[in-house]
Structure 1
Amino acid sequence: MKVFILTEGGKSIGFGHITRCFSLWQAFMERGIRPFFLVNMDDSMESSARAMNCEIFDWLNKKEEILFQNLESDSIVIIDSYLAGKFFYEKIAARAGVPVYIDDNVRLNYPSGIIVNGSICAENFQYARADNQEYLLGVKYIPLRKAFRESAVKKINEEIKTIMVTFGGTDLRGMTQNILKFLCENFPRVQKKIILAGAFKDKEKIQAVGGDKATQFIIAPSDTIMRETMLESDLAITAAGQTLYELARVGVPSISVIVADNQMNNVNGWIKEGFIENAGVWDAPDLLSNIARGIQKLSSQEERKKRSEKAMNLVDGKGAARISEILLEKAGQ
């Protein structure tokens, strides 16, 4: 039996799909199965791909036939894509033993197979629900990296001493530098932990400009380092994608910034659950003032404690393990 994980990523479309697919790769590896982890991405990001144990492979276009030649009747094929069309999904459904489609926002009317959507409140999304489909919906099935499966006690300080800034694997909209400047000018006594992922296009520029004496740059952190940084932070300013679920797992009260249209479901769901403050879309003229208001609102220790506990109760970090177990059962393993 073979397991294929197909996804995409890069400087122009971000790294979130790769991160959650890497968590599935980890879950299968723990069960003694090494998936073929194939990512359609820019060759310039080879070092980032290597760190995620994936192979740069254009499975969607010129190398598609090579992929199909290697499929077997009992193969598990997981697709996490915003680029693949319905025809490609139909070809996978016809050839794979267990076809799996990771979705965020009911992007397609999917063919037969298993649809996975770990988004907050995904149980309420309007899927077609045919008889030849199975659905794994809600945060119970959010795939998080291995380090985030462990539970820990999150200390809630009386005051906000440390703010973490994280905008995914690429900082698609170039938010980090402006937010760091804003924090240095308005919160000079607060420790700033600035995540500069390996695929950041401006990380050298951000470091050159610098912050203040209370600024720490964390370069290309592993999942373990990310978790440790979250545990040390009283508050996070973050894009509204996959990282929000890791922050929820650790229990870090967060201020979200919407950097892509597909993040609206995450924001609406987490607002409904009372976990985040939302500063708005990335280019909103009042973004920084909204961030300031969010910090003020979350300055209360009691408020941060309430939000932290609520988020941790919702996300247990076992989504990738649940998914891999179900898929292997479907494949007869």
Structure 2
Amino acid sequence: MKVKIFTEGGFGIGLGHISRCSSLYDEVVSRGIEAEFVIHGNFKNVDLLKGMMVKNVNWLSEDYLNNHINNTDYCIVDSYLASEELYQIISNKSKKALFIDDNARIKYPKGIIVNPSLSVDGLNYPQNDEYIYLLGDKYIILRSPFVNVKKNIINKDVKEVLITMGGSDPKELTPKILNGICKNYPLIKFNVVIGNAFRKANLIERIELNNIEFHYNVDAELMKNLMLKSDFAITAAGQTVYELLAIQTPFIPIKIAENQSNNIQGLRMINPHQVIIEHEDKFFLKRLEKEFKTMLCKDKRENLAKLYKNQVEGLGNKRIVDSLLGEIDMEKSILIRNVKSNDIDNVFNLSNQDYVRKYSINKEKINWEDHISWFNNTIQDRNIVFYVITDDMEQFLGQIRYKINDSIATVSISLSDLIIGKGYSKFILLKSMEKLFSERNEVNEIIAYVLEKNIPSVKIFENAGFLFHGNHEGLLKYIYSKEE
């Protein structure tokens, strides 16, 4: 098996897709799985790709995909150029496919759809059994140097400012900012990132200002260090925004593309007073300098750093690859054990989640005192088998209970939103049943009661081999027999 990543980037396209796909490549390879990076575009000497197995080829054709994908390949696609027909070929030919999307661009075929944005409000994704959705800030993709690193000091006076317009600066804003802003602040050092896909880098280099230092083809480690030492940044509102949020370096975002709208919306959710500079605003420099002056205030930068805290966890890469390679890693990463007394808080919090109560027979929230009494009685009741689901780091992921009456067990299951919709539910249910049958030999039948409106749970039980045995006023009964 192999993971094949298809994307595009370079001159006229930018390096955003290459950047986030490179992070997924690293995550795959770190698990000992072979990966291949297939990139369409005109680029050269991209530090992001050092040490990777890269093919620079136009993969945007039916012939190429039909000849280069087989049924053991896991595929990741991050593209604005690929047609629905090409996505369909990838879905059909591969063992499993994952599609990265920013704006519900097309109707995707069967697979995992990832929108790793600060906000997905306003985007309509079709709901059916062919899709697994990974949407929002829990799936933000970060390069590894930006994980668990924070800016610790906010200086009183601004000494350094970072300017980064992405890998290609498609709107050619860098020279405009240097001439319009940097020359007005001779005591501030400007760290200016020049990507290898800049079309007019030679013109930028002709700007002779003593307070400018150019940084070329910056890798992730150097970019991290530039962010940490700069008092704030002027940045395009793309992938770099996530890295700045993770590090908690204040920044002025500039919208340079329509696909950054979700990021802009997300930034305004974090900070309702967030000022966004539009690249095509005829008063672009005037608005930028006004916002620049506000960032000279230490209190403003301190407040922004506080707002950024914990907005980007840094677990998006892992969660995305977990979903793609779930059947490979599932046995190792998802564990089922007997409940412990110290699980009481996690069980309480999960049981009171709105999505759990919505599909419970009793929809009222549970109070803590009642929960303590119920929990203690339940774990001491020999006729109740109580399992807890965790990952290999002991993170709580859900609960499954079996109430036993002679040879019949009635199952109740609730899972954390960390794993809902990722294709793990059937595996967890079957694994818990296997454990139950091995521990309680007298059990040969399991009953599940499911609300008719709870379509996801209906599908889980049906796919696990449970047979429908009636509908009583919207409450469906399913039975699994060990002999069947």
Same fold (TM over 0.5): yes
Equivalent residue, structure 1, for 2:5: 5
SS at match of 1:314: coil
Q: CA distance change for structure 1 residues 332 and 164 in 2, over 3 Å: closer, same or farther?
A: closer
1:228-247 alignment to 2 at 5 Å? 228-247=225-244
1:316 aligns with 2:302: no
Residue from 218, 221, 243 that aligns with 2:218? 221
Give, in whole Å, the separation in 1 of the partners of 2:3 and 2:66.
13
Q: Which residue identity is paired with 1:319?
A: G
Cα drift, residue 197 of structure 1? 1.3
User: Does residue 39 of structure 1 match 2:39?
Assistant: yes
1:177 aligns with 2:175: yes
SS in 1 for 2:45: helix
Measured against aligned partners, the alpha-carbon deviations of 1:213-272 in whole angstroms (never above 9, x if no partner) come to 221111111100000000011111111111111111111111111211211221122122
Q: What TM-score, normalized to structure 2?
A: 0.64
In structure 2, the residue matched to 1:266 is 263
Aligned-partner SS, 2:254: strand
Q: How many residues align?
A: 328
Secondary structure at the counterpart of residue 126 of structure 1: coil
Measure the CA separation in 1 of the matches of 2:8 and 2:273. Answer: 28
Paired AA for residue 95 in structure 2: G
Distance in 1, Cα, partners of 2:172 & 2:192: 13
Distance 2:183 2:6 in 1: 43
Which residue of structure 2 aligns with residue 189 of structure 1? 187
For 1:120, the aligned partner's letter is L
Question: Among 251, 260, 280, which residue is 2:277 paired with?
Answer: 280
Shift of 1:174: 0.8
Cα deviation, residue 275, structure 1 = 8.3
CA pair 322-141 structure 1, distance change in 2 beyond 3 A: same
Letter in 1 for 2:297: S
Alpha carbons 2:162, 2:191 under 8 Å: kept: yes
In structure 2, C-alpha distance between the alignment counterparts of 1:7 and 1:171, rounded to whole Å: 19
1:277 touches 1:294 (CA, 8 Å); kept in 2? no
**Residue 126 of structure 2 corresponds to residue 140 of structure 1:** no
Partners of 1:3 and 1:276 in 2: CA distance: 42
User: What does residue range 158-173 of structure 1 map to in structure 2 within 5 Å?
Assistant: 158-173=156-171
- Call closer, same or farther: CA 1:73–1:48 in 2, change over 3 Å: same
Determine if contact 1:148/1:227 at 8 Å carries over to the other structure.
yes
Q: Indicate whether 1:299 and 2:296 are aligned.
A: yes
One-letter identity of the residue aligned with 1:308: A
Identical counterparts, % of pairs: 33
Q: Displacement of 1:327 after TM fit?
A: 1.5
CA–CA separation in structure 2 for the residues paired with 1:112 and 1:226 = 37
Tell me the distance in 2 between the aligned counterparts of 1:160 and 1:109. Answer: 47
User: For residue 30 of structure 1, what is the aligned residue in structure 2?
Assistant: 30
Whose strand proportion is higher, 1 or 2? 2
Q: Is the 8 A contact 2:138 2:312 kept in 1?
A: yes
1:123·1:137 contact (CA, 8 Å) conserved in 2?
no
What letter is aligned with 1:128? Answer: P
Distance 1:287 1:248 in 2: 24
Displacement of 1:319 in angstroms is 1.3
Structure 2 gap segments, 5+ residues each: 331-484
| RMSD, matched Cα | 2.0
Task: Give secondary structure in 2 for the equivalent of 1:31.
Answer: coil
Asked if the contact 1:254–1:277 (Cα under 8 Å) also holds between the matched residues in 2, the reply is no
Aligned to 1:209: 207
Take 2:189 and 2:244, find their aligned partners in 1: how far apart are those partners?
A: 18
C-alpha distance after superposition, 1:66-87 (max 9, x if no partner):
4333423242111100011111
Whether the 8 Å contact between 2:28 and 2:34 is mirrored in structure 1 is yes
Bigger relative CO (Cα 8 Å, ≥ 6 apart):
1
Q: 8 Å contact 1:117–1:137 — kept in the other structure?
A: yes
SS at match of 1:266: helix
Structure 2 distance, partners of 1:279, 1:270, is: 9
Distance in 1 (alpha carbons) for counterparts of 2:48 and 2:257: 26
State the AA in 2 paired with 1:26. Answer: D
Q: CA deviation at 1:159?
A: 2.3
- 1:76-112: CA deviations, max 9, x gaps? 1111000111111111111212111100011112111
